[in-house]
Amino acid sequence: MIRDMIPTVQKPMPDIYRNRSDQEYDEGIAQAKKRLGKDLVIMGHHYQRDDVIRFADFTGDSLELARIAEKQKRAQYIVFCGVHFMAESADILTGEEQAVILPDMKAGCSMADMADLEELEEAWDVIQEELGDTVIPVTYVNSTAAIKAFVGRHGGTTCTSTNAKGVLEWAFTRKKRILFLPDQHLGRNTAYAMGIPLEQMAVWNQVEGVWEEEKGPKEDWRVLLWKGHCSVHTKFTLDQIEKIRKQDPKTRVIVHPECTFDVVQASDDNGSTSYIIRRIQEAPSGSKWAVGTEVNLVQRLAHQHPDQEIRLLSETMCPCLTMNRIDRPHLLWTLESLVEGRIINQVSVDEDTTHWAKTALDRMLSIG
Ligand code: 13P
Ligand code: SF4
């Protein structure tokens, strides 16, 4: 687990990086960026704070960032403003001589932490015993490199919220059943949208080691869902949608597919972060939206489209606390260290894990 690794991989940030003015941070980052020139690429996920993402050379959703990382052949340093699993994927997809840096190693993902290798190996043994060789594993990219490697070793692949449907279609051409981890909601929402009824799904509770939500007979199961979730997206509720429908039926509700089944069913549309951005960009002036995803992105969209009414679906803030750990002090610290010739907070995946995790990621990238 990432949190167990933190003390060994990240030294505390020196005090000189704290309590500077906005201008000092901005100038410091811009200067370090200039000095590093083509040796540096900064990548940023859509959930990053405004004051950080403005320094990114590339922004995107998880799939776009993985594709962009794969294309970076020149940069010696890739500073990844996102969460740990994204930086791991970038390390796996880039060359050995390139260093991927996460400005704050505590920027993990609570969902990725919900699946560890030992639990997966135990689940796999149960699955093989009860269902035989009928199952292919598919992991959402929001998982550790070790989980991706397991999946790669067992003939499976990764997916993101953009390509989950295409990946599941591919997986069903290989095996009768799919083990989908770690996000039960993305798995359920995607499979249901493909026409698979809930009776053909079951949830594996990895903590108790038991099946749950068995709505149909075991021989009919087609999608085995890991009991993981996103703590940000599960805060959006059916009540919030019903309230909006009553207040203003013209407001369109758009959510990320990490939201629960009920929420996705009740919404007007759902998709990845880039999909949500595109839908709003394409909407006519005067459109009204309630958006069920991370608050930084929703606030940025509201700011960028003053001619539309854009609000967060929930009345309380929904920040991804780990994404928000990447801030200007940490960005400046990592960049100035690079200028001084020191690589800090490097995310480095071992050779064997890289080989098999890359197998899984490459399969995904070739599927689409
Ligand atoms: P996207 O691939 O849609 O950007 O999602 C990443 C993520 O972590 C959502 O919580
Ligand atoms: Fe992980 Fe949820 Fe944050 Fe996305 S929003 S990085 S799934 S905790």
CATH of 15-108+323-349, one of 3.20.20.140, 2.60.40.420, 3.30.420.610, 3.40.50.10800: 3.40.50.10800
The Cα 178–Cα 193 span in angstroms is: 15
- Kindly state if the Cβ of 142 falls inside 6 Å of ligand 2: yes
| pLDDT one digit per residue (tens) for the chain, 368 residues | 544 444 456 889 999 999 999 999 999 999 999 999 999 999 999 999 999 999 999 999 999 999 999 999 999 999 999 999 999 999 999 999 999 999 999 999 999 999 999 999 999 999 999 999 999 999 999 999 999 999 999 999 999 999 999 999 999 999 999 999 999 999 999 999 999 999 999 999 999 999 999 999 999 999 999 999 999 999 999 999 999 999 999 999 999 999 999 999 999 999 999 999 999 999 999 999 999 999 999 999 999 999 999 999 999 888 999 999 999 999 999 999 999 999 999 999 999 999 999 999 999 999 97
The Cα 185–Cα 26 span in angstroms is: 39
The Cα 178–Cα 161 span in angstroms is: 16
Is 355 known to sit in a ligand binding site? no
Which atom of ligand 1 lies closest to the CA of 83? 8
pTM assigned to the model: 0.96
Cβ–Cβ < 8 Å for 353, 106: no
Nearest CA to ligand 2 atom 2: 230
In whole angstroms, how far apart are CA 217 and each of 197, 220, 222, 224?
12, 6, 11, 13
The SS3 assignment for 72 reads: coil
In the chain, which segments carry CATH 3.40.50.10800?
15-108+323-349, 112-229, 238-312
Note the ligand closest to the C-alpha atom of 256.
1
Residue 341 half-sphere exposure toward CB, CA atoms < 13 A: 0
The Cα 367–Cα 44 span in angstroms is: 24
Helix or strand run (H / E) with residue 252 = strand 252-255
What phi and psi values does residue 324 have, to the nearest 5 degrees? -75, -10
Q: How far is the centre of ligand 2, averaged over its atoms, from the C-alpha of 271 (Å)?
A: 15
Which atom of ligand 1 lies closest to the CA of 271? 3
**Residue 134, Cα to own-chain centre: how many angstroms?**
28
Instruction: Assign domain 238-312 to its CATH superfamily.
Output: NadA-like (3.40.50.10800)
- Kindly state if the Cβ of 61 falls inside 6 Å of ligand 1: yes
- At residue 48, what is the residue type? Q
- Kindly state if the Cβ of 327 falls inside 6 Å of ligand 1: no
Nearest CA to ligand 1 atom 6: 62
Which residues neighbour 286 within 8 Å (Cβ) at sequence distance 6 or greater? 307, 308, 309
- Kindly state if the Cβ of 294 falls inside 6 Å of ligand 2: yes
Handedness of CA 333, 37, 343, 48 (dihedral sign): positive
Please, what is the angle between helix 351-367 and helix 164-172, to 10°? Answer: 100
CATH of 112-229, one of 3.40.640.10, 3.40.50.720, 3.40.190.10, 3.40.50.10800: 3.40.50.10800
Cβ–Cβ < 8 Å for 77, 99: yes
Which residues neighbour 75 within 8 Å (Cβ) at sequence distance 6 or greater? 38, 39, 40, 41, 98
Handedness of CA 349, 355, 357, 363 (dihedral sign): positive
Our CA angle for 123, 115, 203, nearest 5°, is 55
- Kindly state if the Cβ of 320 falls inside 6 Å of ligand 2: yes
Starting at the edge strand found earlier in the chain, the sheet holding 177-181 runs: 157-159, 135-140, 177-181, 223-226, 201-205, 210-212
Q: Pairing relation of β-strands 223-226 and 210-212?
A: unpaired
